[in-house]
Structure 1
Amino acid sequence: MTALSDLKRKLRPGQVYRRADLARWSKSVDRHLRQLVEEGRLVKVSAGLYRTPRKTRFGDAPAAPDKLVERFLKDDRFLMVSPNAYNGLGVGATQLYNETIVYNAKRHGRHELDGRKYDFRQKPWFPTRVTPEFLLVDLVDNLGRLAEDQDALASRAKERARQMDRQALKKAVRDYGGQRAKRLLGPVLADDAHAVA
């Protein structure tokens, strides 16, 4: 058995690998990577990042976004938020975006991975899952980046805040909100303003 065929046996469909992962199994990793990409056994998704194709009846399936981001960051602590989710808050947001925000503790900047766009934002604190309260705080903090009427969205965000779980919203503003969220949503929570100051 050759070193290349031994490496092929270790690859699993739909998985994402860093070059360093494959270097553990190959003494000629760069040559083997070139061969595996040429053969279609690996697909390069970014510098130093590869995925094994997973065939479906519709063709080659892309890597699962969470696996892709985890291998890219070399960390499983991150939160992916699609700005499209703002549309479900009932604040009048209707635009569709083709970029996913990834809150994490390691990387900052925009990257394309496996044909999809990600905006990595380094933050010390973010929740483990998206809640409506966090999503509203996130929308307010990102108003300047949205292709919508910012004043109208801000006004409706304040109205929506009044309908939300007060304690959960206070916690989201306090723990994850930037200055804009604290300034805009603070008056809505004014009866206990010190909780979001």
Structure 2
Amino acid sequence: MSALEQLKMHLQKGQVYRRDDLVKWSRSVDRHLHALLKEGVLQKLSQGVYYYPKNSVFGQTPPEEETLVRSFLKDDRFLLTSPNLYNALGVGTTQLYNQRTVYNHKRHGKFKLGNRVFDFQMKHHFPEKLTPEFLLVDLAGNLDRLAEDQQQVKNNVLSKAGNMNKTELRQTLNQYGNGKAKRLLAPVLT
């Protein structure tokens, strides 16, 4: 069995690999990567990031966003979010955005991974999972980035904040809110 075939045995469909991940299975990683790309076994997503596509009845599926981001960051500590998630709060946001935000501890800036652009934002603190309280605090801190009528959304955010669990919201605001969010929501929580 060739070294390339041995490397292929370690690869799993649907997984994202960094070049560094493959070094443990190959002595000629660059040559093998070139061969795997040429064969269509792997797809290059970004500099040093590759995907082994899964097949479905509709063709090849793209990598799962969490798998892609985890491999890119080499870290599990991140929170993947989108302005689209604000729509679930019922505060008047209805736009659909082709934007993904990744709160993390390592990277800052916009990075294209495959055919998707991710906005990586370094933050010291963010929750492990999304909650309605975090989404409201995040929305309050990012009102100026929205396409909707900001004054109307702001009024709806204040109304929504008044109807939420004040203790949870206050704790979330103190832990994760930026200055804009704190200035907007603090008066409602006193």
Question: Which of the five TM-score ranges fits, normalised by the shorter chain?
Answer: over 0.9
Tell me the residue number matched to 1:18: 18
Q: 1:10 & 1:74 partners in 2: Cα distance?
A: 19
Q: Which residues of structure 1 form unaligned runs of 5+?
A: 191-197
Task: Quote the Cα distance in structure 2 between the aligned partners of 1:81 and 1:148.
Answer: 18
CA deviations over 1:132-165 (Å, ceiling 9, x no partner)? 0100000011111111211111111000100111
Residue 3 (structure 1) shift: 0.8
Give yes or no for the alignment of 1:122 onto 2:122: yes
Question: What are the equivalent positions in structure 2 for 1:56-75 lying under 5 Å apart?
Answer: 56-75=56-75
1:175 is matched with which residue? 175
User: In structure 1, what is the Cα distance between the partners aligned to 2:166 and 2:11?
Assistant: 49
Aligned residues: 190
Post-superposition CA distance 1:11-38 (Å, at most 9, x none): 1100110000111111111111111011
Structure 2: any 5+ residue segments left out of the alignment? none
Hey, what does 1:193 align to over in structure 2? none
Structure 1 runs of 4+ aligned residues shifted over 4 Å read none
* 1:139 is the counterpart of 2:139: yes
Cα distance in 2 between the residues matched to 1:108 and 1:148: 26
TM-score if structure 2 supplies the norm length?
Answer: 0.98
Is residue 76 of structure 1 aligned with residue 76 of structure 2? yes
Corresponding residue of 2:98: 98
Output the CA distance in 2 between the equivalents of 1:40 and 1:104.
Answer: 32
TM-score (norm 1): 0.94
Query: Identity over the aligned pairs, expressed in percent?
Result: 54
Question: Is 1:37–2:37 an aligned residue pair?
Answer: yes
Counterpart residue type for residue 37 of structure 2: V
Tell me the distance in 2 between the aligned counterparts of 1:114 and 1:164: 39
Does structure 1 residue 149 correspond to structure 2 residue 149?
A: yes
Distance 1:168 1:115 in 2: 37
Q: Distance in 2 between matches of 1:117 and 1:146?
A: 18
Give the letter for the 1:65 counterpart: E
One-letter code aligned to 1:161: A
Distance 2:48 2:36 in 1: 14
Q: How far apart in 1 are the matches of 2:149 and 2:172?
A: 24
CA deviation after TM superposition for structure 1 residue 114, in Å: 2.2
Structure 2 counterpart of 1:24, one-letter code? K
Distance in 2 (CA, whole Å) between partners of 1:140 and 1:114 is 31
> 1:99: how far off?
1.1
